[in-house]
Amino acid sequence: MEGEKQGSPRELTNFTAKKKMKSKRYFDEAGHEGKVEEYTVDVDTFLKEQRKERKKKIKELKTARQEETKSRKNRHILKKKNKQETDVRKKVDPYPGDAPISKKKLQKYGRGEKLDTRGMKTKYHQDTFSRKEQRVKEAVRQAARSEFLLSEEQGYLEADEGEETSQITQHDMSSAVDITSAQKYFELELNQFGPYRMNYTRNGRFLLIAGRKGHVAAMDWQTKKLMCEMNVMETAQDVKWLHIETMFAVAQKQWTYIYDNQGIELHCLKALDCVLRMEFLPYHFLLASANAKGYLSYLDVSIGQKVAGFQTHLGRLDVMCQNPHNAIIHLGHAGGTVSLWSPNVKEPLVKMLCHGGGVRSVAVNNKGVYMATSGVDRYLKIWDMRMFKPLQNYRISAGAGHLAFSQKDVLAAGIGNVVEVYQDCCRHTMTKPYLSHRLRSPVANLQFCPYEDVLGVGHGNGFSSLLVPGAGEANYDALETNPYQTKQQRRQAEVKMLLEKIQPDMISLDTGALGKIDTKTLQEKIEERNKLLFLKPQKIDFEPKYKMKGKSKGKKHIQRKKGVMEQEKKETIRKIVQLRQEDKREKLKNDKRYFGPKSVLDRFKKKSEAT
């Protein structure tokens, strides 16, 4: 019989059972080569034995299967393939589960640190918040995983060995790239109307240029289709698109005007006079303008009303940029300071002394982390806007007159009639420019085209569009800005934008403040404590009522009056003392150095140890 092994106690009992001999059974076995052997077995014990054997077999099978699966798993880890054993049914995914996501990516899509539920009062709150946290984590993971779906790749430029990227000319590049990209390198020769200011729409499709001597033109710069062209017959200081490509503002000599894309004058904004620089805050529908008399004003273009205006008392304001992350306006001044403004505060939020001489240009990157400034002292400085500290300090031969950040933090600087482009100049100290291009006239304005590897340069002789590989964001979000927007979509998007207009009073340095818990600030706490310290019993004017005859004589009257006043005073003083004591106790409790009540023996401790 199978599995009959000498030595195991179970088999032994069966062996003894054999001797009982109640009924006789014949059966042959393969192991005995056809021989018929006679076994005498007790029926009950036989059945028992069978059952046992069946169990044993099942057990063996199970262990075998387990081992098999184990070995299969091991095989997956080692990525070995044994062709003989592969069975179609047994085939398992060699990379089970979701593809792993790197920590860096998760960090990119994350929304700050995880909430610590340990300090919460009840289990209920702990559970609800940990569940919420789980959901947030899953959302971040999903967002990070969606990166696989992005279709476009970022641009790049690599030089051959022994060659620098800055030696590569625009001509070289445009002849090396495809024809549609090559068409993005072009020059508009406009000699008559003097240095040009320019502006791209938020989706990067349309371009607006304005010559100092009044020439204004709007165009679809990729198809080179002109939308309108006119001369405003006045000095045009600056030009900006409003929220969509059907309207733009031109800062002219006296007032600021709004035109539509056919060049028809829609509004004359007399509230904005002598404007030198404008910035449009698209999410707030605010047109911020700085004028020659040092006046900064905010105009809500959706309702046509001035929201705020301040006299900065900082002289002529011709250096201006916005922080696209928090809609704060940065102004550069002749004294070398840069001031940060919001429409809610009359004074600058921050005033930084950035340069020894006057500030010539300011630019802030897309995430609002880095600010680049250049001054008359010929320095180019990079600042960390989270700490308001300098990060890099570059000395540039002639000093940069104009600066611009691209979506991917590539910095362009206009130095005389040379445009230099720097890559990765914020976190690391760069030693040489990424690209450089010489124009025939001095640079007047710079802007990177959003979602394209293109740098627009307005200069004395017109406008040139340069190729800067790696400058633009490759993948746009169609619900935010869409370069391939149809008219219908544009209309819909405008309505949505208007509905979601952020009120100007929400502009602050910390944009996330709305989503945070409102904890008391230190200043508020100090004020509260001060209030407590300087509490005084109030003076009361108590005039006792006249009572029965004889009881309201002069002396008694005054006694009663004084008595009540004294009592009131005592009461309030007692209350104040109590409050102060409580405050003290609270303070002691929160003090880390406090280890309980003082003992008599504390006097023998060393001074440093003692509380």
| R_g (Cα) of the chain, nearest Å | 41
Say which amino acid occupies 205. R
Angle between helices 43-78 and 9-18 (to 10 degrees): 150
Is residue 278 within 8 Å of 292, Cβ to Cβ?
Answer: no
Provide, rounded to whole angstroms, the least separation between the CB of residue 151 and another protein: 7
Provide, rounded to whole angstroms, the least separation between the CB of residue 262 and another protein: 25
**Sequence-separated contacts (24+) of 458-461 with Cβ below 8 Å:** 458/195, 458/196, 458/197, 458/198, 458/209, 459/195, 459/196, 459/417, 460/194, 460/195, 460/196, 461/189, 461/190, 461/191
Provide, rounded to whole angstroms, the least separation between the CB of residue 488 and another protein: 8
Kindly tell me which residue out of 33, 37, 93, 158 binds another protein, with binding defined by CB under 8 A.
Answer: 158
The closest alpha carbon to 378, from 412, 410, 352, 413, belongs to: 413
Kindly tell me which residue out of 51, 72, 108, 432 binds another protein, with binding defined by CB under 8 A.
Answer: 108
Q: Residues near 448 by Cβ (< 8 Å), separated by ≥ 6?
A: 404, 405, 406, 407, 410, 412, 454, 455, 456, 468, 471, 472
Nearer to another protein, 518 or 541 (CB): 518
Nearer to another protein, 186 or 255 (CB): 186
The span from the CA of 430 to the CA of 118, in Å, is 46
Per-residue CA distances from 418 to 146, 442, 446 (Å): 41, 7, 12
Kindly tell me which residue out of 26, 124, 148, 156 binds another protein, with binding defined by CB under 8 A.
Answer: 156
Kindly tell me which residue out of 232, 435, 467, 493 binds another protein, with binding defined by CB under 8 A.
Answer: 467
CA angle at 320 for the pair 354 and 437, rounded to the nearest 5°:
85
Nearer to another protein, 12 or 150 (CB): 150
The span from the CA of 155 to the CA of 168, in Å, is 15
Report if residue 325 touches another protein, rule: CB under 8 A.
yes
Kindly tell me which residue out of 366, 417, 552, 572 binds another protein, with binding defined by CB under 8 A.
Answer: 366
Report if residue 334 touches another protein, rule: CB under 8 A.
no
Is residue 495 within 8 Å of 279, Cβ to Cβ?
Answer: no
Residues counted in the chain = 611
Query: 499-518: which residues touch another protein (CB under 8 A)?
Result: 499-503, 506, 511-515
Kindly tell me which residue out of 101, 120, 136, 177 binds another protein, with binding defined by CB under 8 A.
Answer: 177
Is residue 301 within 8 Å of 288, Cβ to Cβ?
Answer: no
Tokens of 415: 């130095």
Q: Which stretch binds another protein (CB under 8 A): 114-122, 268-276, 295-303, 448-456?
A: 448-456
Report if residue 540 touches another protein, rule: CB under 8 A.
no
Report if residue 159 touches another protein, rule: CB under 8 A.
yes
Report if residue 399 touches another protein, rule: CB under 8 A.
no
Nearer to another protein, 159 or 353 (CB): 159
Report if residue 327 touches another protein, rule: CB under 8 A.
yes
Nearer to another protein, 271 or 474 (CB): 474
Q: List the x/- string, 258-297, binding to another protein by CB under 8 A.
A: -------------------------x--------------
Task: Output the DSSP codes for 326-354.
Answer: T-PEEEE-TTSEEEEE-TT-SS-SEEEE-
Q: Buried b / exposed e across 178-201, counting CB within 10 Å, b at 16+?
A: eeebeebbebbebeebbbbbbbbb
Angle between helices 554-590 and 522-533 (to 10 degrees): 150
Kindly tell me which residue out of 176, 345, 526, 533 binds another protein, with binding defined by CB under 8 A.
Answer: 176
Q: Which stretch binds another protein (CB under 8 A): 116-124, 496-504, 521-529, 551-559?
A: 496-504
- For 73, the enclosing helix (H) or strand (E) is helix 43-78
Tell me, by CB under 8 A, how many residues bind another protein.
64
| 32 SS3 class | helix
Provide, rounded to whole angstroms, the least separation between the CB of residue 323 and another protein: 10
The span from the CA of 351 to the CA of 314, in Å, is 11
Provide, rounded to whole angstroms, the least separation between the CB of residue 227 and another protein: 19
Nearer to another protein, 519 or 590 (CB): 519
Report if residue 172 touches another protein, rule: CB under 8 A.
yes
Kindly tell me which residue out of 84, 102, 122, 151 binds another protein, with binding defined by CB under 8 A.
Answer: 151
Nearer to another protein, 263 or 483 (CB): 483
Provide, rounded to whole angstroms, the least separation between the CB of residue 383 and another protein: 19
Report if residue 178 touches another protein, rule: CB under 8 A.
yes
Report if residue 565 touches another protein, rule: CB under 8 A.
no
Query: 401-430: which residues touch another protein (CB under 8 A)?
Result: 407
Report if residue 234 touches another protein, rule: CB under 8 A.
no
The answer to whether the Cα torsion of 501, 505, 508, 510 is positive or negative is negative
Nearer to another protein, 26 or 484 (CB): 484
Report if residue 154 touches another protein, rule: CB under 8 A.
yes
Report if residue 143 touches another protein, rule: CB under 8 A.
yes
Kindly tell me which residue out of 109, 129, 186, 255 binds another protein, with binding defined by CB under 8 A.
Answer: 109
Q: Which stretch binds another protein (CB under 8 A): 237-245, 412-420, 495-503, 556-564?
A: 495-503
Q: Identify the bridge partners of residue 211 per DSSP, sorted by sequence position.
A: 196
Kindly tell me which residue out of 296, 359, 452, 493 binds another protein, with binding defined by CB under 8 A.
Answer: 452
Report if residue 324 touches another protein, rule: CB under 8 A.
yes
Kindly tell me which residue out of 153, 541, 543, 609 binds another protein, with binding defined by CB under 8 A.
Answer: 153
The span from the CA of 232 to the CA of 210, in Å, is 10
Kindly tell me which residue out of 30, 36, 387, 479 binds another protein, with binding defined by CB under 8 A.
Answer: 479
Nearer to another protein, 161 or 541 (CB): 161
Torsion of CA 561, 565, 570, 571, to 10 degrees: 110
What letter would DSSP give residue 600? G
Is residue 240 within 8 Å of 278, Cβ to Cβ?
Answer: yes
Q: Which stretch binds another protein (CB under 8 A): 79-87, 186-194, 472-480, 594-602?
A: 472-480
Is residue 188 within 8 Å of 209, Cβ to Cβ?
Answer: yes
Residue for token pair 């934008």: 497
Residues of this chain that interact with another protein (CB under 8 A) are 108-109, 143, 146-147, 150-160, 163, 168, 172-173, 176-178, 180-181, 184, 283, 324-327, 366-367, 407, 451-453, 467, 469, 472-480, 482-484, 486, 489, 499-503, 506, 511-515
